[in-house]
């Protein structure tokens, strides 16, 4: 899954970077904790 980082995440990237992570890591940790959101076309344009 591709995500946009909303905060610096150690060993993953910095604010605003689009990175690819495993689906479970994104859905169960990064997105619920507010550290990332899905990298859809509209989300990328918005950011």
Strand partners, 18: 4
Check whether 35 has a pLDDT greater than 90: yes
pLDDT of the residue at 6 = 95
Whole-number Å distance between alpha carbons of 23 and 29: 10
Residue with tokens 């150690």: 10
The full set of domain ranges for the chain reads 2-46
Whole-number Å distance between alpha carbons of 34 and 13: 15
Residue 45 binned pLDDT confidence (cut-offs 50, 70, 90): confident
List the CATH code of the domain at 2-46. Answer: 3.40.5.10
């Amino acid at each position: 899954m591709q995500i946009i980082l909303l905060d610096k995440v150690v060993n993953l990237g910095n604010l605003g970077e689009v990175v690819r992570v495993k689906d479970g890591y994104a859905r169960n940790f990064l997105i619920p904790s507010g550290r990332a959101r899905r990298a859809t076309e509209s989300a990328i344009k918005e950011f």
